[in-house]
Chains A and B, each alone.
Chain A
């Protein structure tokens, strides 16, 4: 065992590679291997985000529950109670909370990811590492909040007398789709925001528009059938409706919408990564 460790150590130190530093033009390929080499850095940056978020707060991680919970109460009063928005026969608080869990993940991660190159300026102007790590890190770190918020759904389900159905096994697929789309959009916006700071100011409106575009406070059955096909290209549309279907098992899984969303999430992620790589070389200069 010790011998093997020693061997690995000597391997890593004798491994020398040539790095050519020169001006790059045009599109760059994404060096996945290098990203993997920096997995420890990703790990500690995620850990930093997770542990520092609720430091010096009284309520600590309870905030991860409180934020969607308070929103649930407000939305239930305003949209469910006053505006009488239908909820497919599901109690409105449960209905809106099941939608808020993925939504809160999306909006929080997106905002943090967009600003990641601006808040991380002190790091990447001093040390080299694949910059792509920075917008990705919040999308991983917020998963902790997501998991905590998700656990409350089950308590609410218990309260309203909903049993777990087998459809809950679809949840991981929806989560992957949610993470991919959030990361893709975050990468795009972070690369734009570092040069055009307007993006950081604009993103809060974008998040608001995207919330009303997603079926957070209303069911998709509420919208005319003809809208569905257009909104389907927006992955959170399928993700949120899918979350409800998977958790509450009342509606059928909208696979057509989820499939459409998956395609656009992939397009968003790949195009974002390439745009980011193209812009990467100027980050330290314009920051």
Chain B
């Protein structure tokens, strides 16, 4: 029996991102370029939809040769870092954008939920927006009519049904939008990260509704950064990396692999140009990163209360200076530290063409576990030049100390005193 409901074959998607404008250094040059700008603008705009074979520097492949099959009734999680191609994949399967290459066959009615509240009109009432949003999502007027009372009840907006939605609080707006979406009844449901909205209680209600939908035999493709949700809802998960399928299989296995990139280096790491998950729209480059202990020696294991030094070699520096951020994540993907050079009053102007900077955290104060470091490099205007994810990792251990509870991320002993006895 052939119960394949989605069949994806070598799907690829190419995008052209705008090339940076040339900055002119003389008045004559800028006047000249202004005069001929209509011609170059026309070429540039036309190029948005035309590709001439050669892969220029402004072309990126958001997806490259993706293949997988989905069986009827499967609930599939799709995970991956930002820019891995998750949303592009969903957009292609929802027929919003067309693939550059390859093909996908979909058997059945698809509803996609890449955003909630699509097409909501601020001036219209909640009632009017339920019908509008519902038909945009692919429901018929009769289907909405049948579910209308249930939608209103689910949204908890009650007496505000006939108020224009612009008067709604953001919470009410989200609840109404989700209530419509939750009553979609397609054979295939495609959901992007839409649950990251609303208050905790409503989120839980939505998740409940979602898993109910999923259990009733519908096929669901679900993108999320929240590993708990993925773990709860999906049996099978696909990990995307740089537009390719890195892993496809049992959810727990895939999540484990995703959260512990074994190839990540410790101690010292060279950041080559083709380093995985790197986005480099500018010239500035992070060249190498090191983690040093209090004796300035390269080290990969630290005590909970140890100081830590992170050193970064930067090339292609210009005299305007730059800004650096280090982002430290734990194994669950939570951002533990976001440390920015702008906050540290160092002057990065006129350093020559290469520089090495060092950032010290005097006391780590984080519980035992493995942590990874992302590097973010910006120019003097704080615009992104180079962003490298998972550059290096280090381990925090608990040797000499008393037993540290593992429930929090931050470990703080606190300063305790008895002020009344």
Footprint of B on A, CB under 8 Å?
13, 16-24, 40-41, 43-45, 47-48, 51-52, 55-56, 122-129, 195-196, 279, 281-282, 284-286
Contacts and interface: CB of A to CB of B under 8 A. Distances in A.
A127 B103 contact: no
A128 B94 contact: yes
B334 interface: no
Contact of B108 (A16, A24, A43, A286): A16
Given A22-B99, A286-B48, A48 B104 contact: no
B135 A127 contact: no
B359 interface: no
A-B pairs with lowest CB-CB distance, top 9:
A22-B103, A55-B123, A128-B95, A282-B49, A281-B98, A21-B104, A41-B135, A52-B123, A40-B141
A20 B107 CA distance: 9
B131 A128 contact: no
B298 to A, nearest CB: 46
Given A48-B132, A51-B128, A127-B136, A285 B48 contact: yes
Contacts of A21: 92-93, 95, 98-99, 103-106
Contacts of B249: none
Contact of A16 (B101, B107, B114): B107
B97 interface: yes
A269 B132 CA distance: 27
Given A128-B94, A284-B97, A48 B118 contact: no
A48 B124 contact: yes
B398 interface: no
Interface string B25-50: 00000000000000000100110110
A23 B99 contact: yes
Contact of A23 (B94, B101, B108, B187): B101
Given A52-B124, A281-B98, A284-B97, A123 B140 contact: no
Nearest to B185: A13
A84 B121 CA distance: 46
Given A22-B104, A40-B140, A195-B45, A52 B121 contact: yes
Contacts of B107: 16-19
B110 A129 contact: no
Give the bracket for the number of chain B residues in contact with chain A. 35 or more
Interface of B: 15, 42, 45-46, 48-49, 91-110, 112, 114-115, 118-119, 121, 123-124, 128, 131-132, 135-138, 140-141, 164, 187
A23 B10 CA distance: 12
Contacts of A129: 136, 138
A154 B114 CA distance: 50
B106 A18 contact: yes
Contacts of B132: 44-45, 47-48
Contact of B115 (A47, A126, A195): A126
Contacts of B106: 18-19, 21
B98 A23 contact: yes
A239 B131 CA distance: 36
Contact of A127 (B49, B105, B112): B112
Contacts of B42: 196
Contact of B96 (A16, A51, A127): A127
A51 B124 contact: yes
Contacts of B136: 41, 44, 123, 127, 129
Given A16-B107, A127-B114, A285-B49, 9 more contacts: A17-B108, A21-B92, A21-B93, A48-B132, A52-B121, A52-B123, A127-B96, A128-B110, A284-B97
